[in-house]
A and B are shown apart, each in its own frame.
Chain A
Amino acid sequence: MDTQAAQIQKKLQIELDSFKATQKEYSKLVQQRQQLDGQLNENQNVLEEMNILAEDKNTVYKLIGPILVKQSLTESKQNVSKRIDYISKELQKCNDRLTTIEKEQDKHRENLGKLQQQLSVISAMK
């Protein structure tokens, strides 16, 4: 009887550890998503602003280290669009990973509940 209880206890511990690990990754991913979301927003704002500009009227500079370097408008637009594409892709990846982790967490939660139940049944039988 005791060995059975110990076995379940052990399983419970393993399950709990992996559950905690997924929780940790989850919060890390949420943070990452927030950051990406912010970057995406900022880049979109910049692109929006660039779309109003005219090549012959406005000069675009890019900050490289402490100095401003002249850039052509079309090139800058391309650059920012590329960034937006990249960030969107990263964001998508992040979201996909989050949904899979959510599913994993649900599974862990279910398993934990079952194990706990088993444990309480065994202790009640004693």
Chain B
Amino acid sequence: MATISQNEGSNMQQIDLMKLNIQQLSQLKQQLDSELTIFQDSLATLKMAKGKFAASKESLEQFKEGFDQKTTLIPLTGSMYVPGRIKDIENVIIDIGTGYYVEKDRDSAKDYFKRKVDFVGEQIEKIEILGYEKSQIRDAICEVISVKLQQMKAQLPQES
């Protein structure tokens, strides 16, 4: 009845949960629990990364024509600003990772952040699906454990 498919890497494993004993089941549950925590952690990290990319894109969109004529306040520290003017509003320098930075014009910079946001979003979706599957398996295991426990309880008075 409680047959689930567990996707471990490339090899699909079919395990009949009812055939496992309680010890094996709780071990499996523990394993799934730790996997779920890892998923949760990476989801949080990915969401943070997505937020950062989105914020960069947002601030790029604030750049409008004629902005180079206006005075801006440049933050030196969190609480101190000096007036300044942006010399070049057409180009920005972006950190693309591993210590490399690239100068891009505004439109391609926006495009870069859009791509990054989409990419991270895709990864988040993938992990969410995987996490959902894992939590379902976990629920199934919990159910089987409680069924087994009840069976054991029912058997006890007969033996004694």
Residues of A within 8 A of B (CB): 42-43, 45-46, 49-50, 53, 57-64, 68, 71, 76, 80, 83
Query: Is A80 a contact partner of B100 (Cβ separation < 8 A)?
Result: yes
Is B23 part of the binding interface, using a Cβ–Cβ cutoff of 8 Å? no
Q: With A61-B93, A68-B93 as given contacts, are A46 and B98 in contact (CB-CB < 8 Å)?
A: yes
Could you say which interface size class chain B belongs to?
10 to 19
Query: Is A62 a contact partner of B100 (Cβ separation < 8 A)?
Result: yes
Residues of B within 8 A of A (CB): 93, 96-105, 112
Secondary structure type dominating chain B contacts = strand
Q: With A58-B102, A59-B103, A61-B100 as given contacts, are A49 and B93 in contact (CB-CB < 8 Å)?
A: no
Tell me, rounded to whole Å, the shortest Cβ–Cβ distance linking A27 to chain B: 13
Query: Is A45 a contact partner of B103 (Cβ separation < 8 A)?
Result: no
Docked complex Cα distance between A58 and B99 (Å): 16
- Which 7 pairs of residues, A with B, have the shortest CB-CB distance? A61-B101, A63-B99, A59-B103, A49-B96, A46-B97, A42-B97, A46-B98
Q: With A49-B112, A61-B93, A68-B93 as given contacts, are A80 and B98 in contact (CB-CB < 8 Å)?
A: yes
